[in-house]
Each structure stands twice: as C-alpha cells, then as structure tokens.
Amino acid sequence: MSAGSENEAVLDKLKVHKGSPLSETLNSPLLPSSARESDHGSVIEPHPDNGRVPDSNQTLSSVDGLEPTTEMVRLVAPGEALQLVRFARRADTLMITGVTPHGRRLTFEQRADREGWYVVAAGRRRRPTERELGLVVASITQEMEAAQAPREDREEIRSAYRLATSSDQPGLPGRGLQAYRDLLLDEAEAFINGQVERLTVVAVEYQAFKRFAVRHSHRIGAAFVRALGERLQLLFGEVPGLHACHKAGKSFRLIVRDLGSEDTMALIESIAAQETRQWIVDRVWGDEPRTHIDEVHFKFGFAMTRASDKKSASHVLAQRLNDDAFRAAKLGQLQGHIAIQMAKIDYRTTVYRWNSTSEDELEELANQMDDGPAEVMAEMMDYLHELVPVDLEGMAVQGDVRALVHAAIARDGFWQGSVAMRIAGERLLHRFRDGTQAPEGENDYVAGFELGDEFYGLVRENGCFYFAWGDLNSAGATRIRSGLGRIRHAVGWGREDGGGIMGHFIRAMPPDDEGRSLVTRVRDAAYEAFEDLRGDKELRVNDSVDIADYLWTTAGELITNEDVVEGAELVLLIRGERRMVQVVERRSRFTLRLDIDGKEHVAAFTEGLTGPYIKLRIRDTVLSAAICVLEIRKPELEDLIAIVREDNLLPEDTPMNVLGFVRHMADLLLAEQVKGPGKIELALGATYHADRFVRVFTLEEVRDRFPGLFYEAIHHELLEVPSTGVDRNLRELIAHTMLARNRPSQDNITIN
C-alpha cells in the first residue's frame, strides 16, 4: 500500500474528512517517518516553518492546521499525550476529545469556517494554550503511528510514548521526574487560565536517610524508597486532583489541586502517621523487622499559589512552587538546630509551609547557625534536579517510535536513566557471557548519567567486562559558588564541543590507537578534565569531608561520641595507611583542634545518634570526578554464579541480577574506598591526582578485602531479578538506540 493510500485508510479509521485541517495535518510533512520512505530508508524531514512562533491572536488554521511551533514542542515531553482519544464530527465542527495524563478532560473544536481551534475545559470554551496544542498534536501522531503499525505492535508504540512518564527506578510505582515536570507545568497553566483555583506542591523526603542507608545497606534504603512510593500510590492513587511523583532518590513530590492549607496538612498527616510508618517497615522487612518506626521520619515542605501568580508565566510559576516546596522542607528540618549535621541526624518529622515571611526566617536562621550563611544556603539547592524543561524539539510532531525512544532516554547530549542503563547494560553483559560479537552498527560500550550527578560506563574489552561508576567531588560547594549554569558547563551538559567531565569520560570508553587499557583511559580522562577546570577561578571552592567513619581508637574500634575528648589519641585509617590523630582541644561544643601526623587541623564536630560527625575543610579545590571501576573476568563470574546457585539449590537456568550485583558493590566502594578517602587526602594537603580518585577492583579483590560488602551484594541483589517494566520489543529498541552511538544527538535522531 502506498503512503497516500495508507493515510487515507487512517483518516477513514479516525473518521476525519479529507480536506479538513486535521486531514491537512496528517498529510503534511509532520507525518511519522515510517510513512515517508526515501531511497535512504526512513528519514524525518523538518517542516520548513517549524521554527515560526505564531502571534497569540493568529488562528491556528493560518499556520497549516495543527502545525506546532518550536516553543510548543518544548512544552510537550515524551509520554505527554492525551489518553482515550476520540475523533468525531458534530454538524460542521471537528472535535478531538481526550484525557490528559493527570486526568483533565479536554475537547478541541474547529468549525468548518476554519476560524481557528478552541478548547473546552472545565465547561469553558476558549483559545487553547501552546501546551494544549502540543498535547493534541502529540496525540494525533501517536495514534497515527499506532494505526500504521501491525495490530500486534500498536501497544508497544503507545508504551513508548509513555516510557518517560513512568518512574525511573525499577519496581517503583507511580510517575517519575519527567512526568512531575510536565504535570506541574500543565497544572500551572490551568491555574493561570482560571481552571484551577489553587495549586500546591508538597515536597516529601525521608529524614536522616543517608546514615540510615549506610547502616542498613543501600539495598534496604532503596526498598524504603520503593515502599514510600507504594504507600503514596495506595493513599492518593485514586484521589482526583492529586498526583504523587518520584522526583529522584529519596525525594517525592505531590501536586495538589484546589485544596486549602488545612486540607493539605491533613494529606501530610496521613503520610506522617504511625500507621504509614509501620506499613513501610512491614513492607520492607516482613515478619522480622530490623527497623523501628522511630527511625522512619520525614521532612515535608509545601508551597501554594498566590493571587499575584496569575500574572506569571506557567514555567515561572511551576519553578517557584517546586523550589519553594523544597526550601520549605529544608527550612523546617533546620529550624531548632544550630548546626546542619545535627538537624540532618535528628529523628523527627517536620512540616513547614513557605509563605511571605519565609525569606526573612531563612536569612535569620542562616546567620544564627554555626555553619554560616553560605553552608545554609547550599542546603537550599537541589543540584541538577531543577524543573527546567528538557529541550526535545521535534519529538512531539515526528511520531517516529525510534525517535521518541531516543528522546525519552536522552537529555542535553547524554543518555540518562537507571532503567535505560539497565537495559543497555544487560545487553552488553549477555554478549560478554555468551562470547558473541557486537552486531554491525552497535558498540561494545555505553555511558551516561543515572540520576543527578551519578554517572556510569559499561565496557566489554579484552575478555573483561568493566563497570565504571562515578560521582562528582565538591558539586554542592561549586553549585553555590558558581551557579547552576557554570557547574553544568563544567560537567558537560549541553556543550556543543563535547567537553567537560562527562565529555572526557565518554571519549575514554572506546579503545584507542595507543592500546591503553580502559582504566588508564579513564584515569587520563579524569585528570584532563581536572586540568581543564582548575584554571577557572570561579570554579575554585572550599569544601568539607567527614572523617568520622575512618577514625578508630587505638584498641581497633570505630570511635563513638564519648571517644572525642581532649587528649584522646586516635588512628585515621585510609586505604590501609595509618595516621596518628590527637584531639588537642575542643574549642567549643562544635569545634575541634586536631593534630594529624604532626600538622594541626580545625574540624567541625557534631554528636549524632549513631556516632560523631567530624568534618575537615578542603581549601581551594575544583569540581572533579571520582570513579570506581569493577573489572570482571568471565571465568570468575561464571564460577561465582555456579557457586551461588549450588548454595541456594537453584536450577542452572535461574536468572541472576549480575548488573545489580556489580552496581551495588561499585556504589559502596565508590563512597567508602574512593571518594571519601580521596577527599580526606585533599583536606590533609594532597593535590588532585587521578590515581586517588579512579580506583579499580576485581571480584576476587572485593571478596577478599570486603567480604561483608561482597556477600551483602550477593544476597540483596544477585539473587533478585527486578523487572524493568518495559515491553521486550521496546527493550531491544532502547538497547540498540543506546549502543548505536556514543551519545545522543538531536541533529538526527532517526535510527535506520
């Protein structure tokens, strides 16, 4: 069947008359590339007017039916399309009706006189916003793509459109960061247009979570995050006008429509209630709980719309609500304390509403706390998780499922997302274990960000499988000193030259002509990135590092609060090297003077419930990379899997979560054996060197030197196989998309 006859069949199926504006749209260059074959395969052809932004008073029909503008496209991200779409004609009016992902029903109308499109929402008929136009275009292209595919593939295509709206943590119900961003933008637009009377954002985060996760293991910490996500869905999943989203890590957000402050407080109380905390503990531990509910606490912050917000742009309002909710949660956490670390380890639940006097309260608190205003303000920043919309120009109108998947797992020139990483990594790992070669057009490596500032590289090379897990040193301090724009440039986000820390890291993934090993290439890349940044005075900052987890008594026990007294002799143990420490003086309740190997250092001291915090200052440092590399050889991996199966009486074909196993080890090794010791050495006067911050471990080395970590990873990860929740055919497409090129490019996102 020709492209023209296919289109006519689709128009007939959708009950759209030829000659109507919608017909013109579906037959225009906005068609999915699968319907326009050229001599070179499927090609997405840009529309000549794609960059034109129409006047707000100009009818949509005067710009080729539903032709979207660049600005419109940027307001619609992957997964944002109407659901339950119906196309119909009533008398002389064409109607498209659907439900937005967060439950608001929209009806788009255009009369035969072609005086432009209108939207009916909440009983009101008005001109549609740019975002609403983008939604209907995305819906049309989604249905067009599905209608042209074989019947058995249609749900796969629709699931691709929903990929980015789901949570990015496998096994976690509810929506993720992308959905949170889009829902909040949409609700802000609805508020400004009078469809919503009030709009509230609630920040929900675990309190004292980092120490909790270290004590119980990161796997248990992740299980508590999943349990909270499940509880939020159980409490609010069916509540109209309320959306619960997983933002990142331990952070959740609620978007609440048309509720006052008292009703919002009632919602918060249902989360903070003893019943909820007990439910979460039982959900994680079952019949043998190893966490008391007194360890489970939250910090809540919420921000509400004001009358003056009616004059704001939707993205400005959305950003304000997001930022103020986060700051409210932090302000509530810090109130009543005189040191940040004391606030972070205090097991209590706090609730704070951001209001007109909050800025003054924050300033007063910052001036009173021992840490100083700069440190307090640093706590108010949510690094790399800002609400700034992702630039996905062209995605919503192209309709090509390959282009859509590409956009869903890419951001600012990098692959991003834990689900995408797992899918591509498992494909590489399967190839490594089977000994098969990479198919034509695919690489034996992949690299990108997981979430925020954590990044990864997976490489198959010279008979080994390498898992590189990285993090950024001094990111928070640099964020305050230099601003988000400078730090993103230093990391490499959105850089056309491919530079920055991540740019150097990604270029180190493929083999080079010099025959250097992967570890050597990664070390060289980390040092080159450091050298590029050290000359920028705006990126030179002061930072701090906690040494308490590396301090031991002379009897060989980790220190407690009672061991930190004047005259005490301690041992600082870093990577097997012993340094003698003497507590010379406690200058105040929160300040120590330490003698470390004959050199005096001043440290900030805080007594915690599980032990002390002792922070040394790192002076004049630069944003840099810390990377843990696990080197895995096939024989030792297969022997390990065989032993684990035998010990647990498992059949030979039982799947193993190898990728989760190595990620678990790499995550803890990075924090405890690479980043922490490296930063302590900087505080003691050393300079940045890649040998300190890029470390390689073999499986045998981890088992011999860190047996507790090794066997924890086996029982918590290797024996469990979480599902990505992604269709098998879609997984193949995602894996191929990521392995076909080093990094995403928005210039040409069709994969042939």
One-letter amino acid at 631 equals: E
What whole-number percentage of the chain has pLDDT above 90?
41
Q: What is the pLDDT of residue 121?
A: 67
Say what the pLDDT of residue 200 is.
Answer: 97
In angstroms, the Cα distances linking 295 to 43, 227, 347 are: 56, 15, 6
Structure confidence at residue 457 (pLDDT): 97
Better-scored residue on pLDDT, 2 or 86: 86
Q: Which residue has the higher pLDDT, 73 or 691?
A: 691
pLDDT band at 377 (very low <50, low <70, confident <90, very high): confident
pLDDT at 22 over 50: no
Q: What is the mean pLDDT of residues 578-598?
A: 89
For the segment 575-580, the average pLDDT, to the nearest whole number, is: 91
Grade residue 141 by pLDDT with cuts at 50, 70 and 90: low
User: Which residues have CB under 8 Å from 262's CB, separation 6+?
Assistant: none
Residues 145-184: pLDDT tens digits? 666 667 766 676 666 656 656 666 666 777 777 678 778 8
Average pLDDT score over residue span 92-113: 72
The more confidently predicted of residues 543 and 114 is: 543
Taking residues 66-81, what's their average pLDDT? 47
pLDDT tens, residue by residue, 318-333:
889 999 999 999 999 9
Tell me the domains of the chain and their CATH numbers. Answer: 3-150 (no CATH), 166-371 (3.30.70.270), 409-541+624-739 (no CATH), 546-621 (no CATH)
- Tell which wins on pLDDT, 713 or 301: 301
Residues 6 or more apart whose Cβ sits within 8 Å of residue 120: 106, 107, 109
- 16 vs 567, higher pLDDT: 567
Average pLDDT (92-99) is 78
**pLDDT value for 29:** 30
CA distance 174 to 278: 21
Could you give the CA distance from residue 672 to residue 701 in angstroms, rounded to a whole number?
A: 15
Residue 490 has pLDDT above 90, yes or no: yes
- What per-residue confidence (pLDDT) applies to 237? 84
Query: What's the gap between Cα 730 and its chain centre?
Result: 21
Structure tokens at 396: 């919503």
Average pLDDT, the chain: 79
Residue 358 scores a pLDDT above 50? yes
Antiparallel, parallel or unpaired: β 117-121 and 105-111: antiparallel
Rounded Cα distance, 192 and 190, in Å: 6
Q: Where is average pLDDT lowest: 101-105, 414-418, 427-431? A: 101-105
- What pTM did the predictor assign? 0.70
| Confidence band for 45, pLDDT divided at 50, 70 and 90 | very low
Rounded Cα distance between 175 and 247, Å, is 9
Instruction: Please tell me the predicted confidence (pLDDT) of residue 163.
Output: 60
Q: Which residues contact 77 (CB under 8 A, 6 or more apart)?
A: 164, 178, 181, 182, 389, 390, 392, 395
The strand order across the sheet containing 251-257 reads: 242-248, 251-257, 199-206, 298-304, 350-353
Give residue 100's pLDDT: 67
